[in-house]
Amino acid sequence: MNKAQIRSQVLALLNRNDCDTATANNFIDLALSRIQRTLRIAPMERQDVVSSNDVGDNLITIPQDFLSMKYLWSGDKMLEFRDFATFLTIPDNVGAPEYYTRVRGGLLIKPRPPLGTEINMVYYGQFDDLTTDESENALTNVAPDLLIYGALSFASDYFFDERKPLFDGRYASIYAELEEQSRMVEWDQSTMSVQPAYSIPY
């Protein structure tokens, strides 16, 4: 569904003659911001590859649409997150990267990666903005109803609508379904490779 279709559904379910197009658009935009603050599902995954351009350079600038990290690795080794205080105690030398921490708009890496080291990042990114009536994004394609009921929740606050518990309940139910679906996808992927219970040398 595009933004115009979602807005049409919001207005139809709200069923008020005092909610104009601009106000409904505002409810949709607020709902989108609310959803992506906490929702983490596969369609939000992005990948970025950073190549170290200087010996000893250990700062990676995170993408502008970054919400949270999923995986960070270099070569065949996953990098491990450390809180900033712990990170400061790790020796600051040059070598294959092993640890990272987040500082403002970037990631600090230790050891400092040698020239040309590739660091791979899989992260959760923001949904594309719905800037026009024809706009679509990953959320409007997989779960437009979540956006619709999120917008209705904001509308019920604005208009002091007594149906707010109904709208909130539907929103929570759809959100829970998406989270469960995401967990099941992760579980299915984890069970695709089964390790043997015993290892018998020959």
The DSSP code sequence of 124-189 is: EEPPPP--STT---HHHHH-HHHHHHHHHHHHHHHHT-TTHHHHHHHHHHHHHHHHHHHHHHHHHH
pLDDT of residue 78: 96
pLDDT of residue 187: 64
What is the percent of the chain where pLDDT is above 70? 90
For the entire predicted model, the pTM comes to: 0.82
Tens digits of residue pLDDT in 76-114: 999 999 999 999 999 989 899 999 999 888 899 999 888
Query: Mean pLDDT across the chain, nearest whole number?
Result: 89
Query: Which of 144, 68, 91, 52 shows the shortest CA–CA distance to 60?
Result: 52
Tens digits of residue pLDDT in 14-40: 999 999 999 999 999 999 999 999 999
Residue 137 has pLDDT above 80, yes or no: yes
Classify 62 as helix, strand or coil: coil
pLDDT of residue 143: 96
pLDDT of residue 163: 97
pLDDT of residue 186: 73
Query: Which of 70, 55, 63 shows the shortest CA–CA distance to 111?
Result: 55
Domain boundary assignment for the chain: 3-41+128-181, 43-124
Decide if 48 contacts 69 (C-beta within 8 A).
no
Residue 118 has pLDDT above 50, yes or no: yes
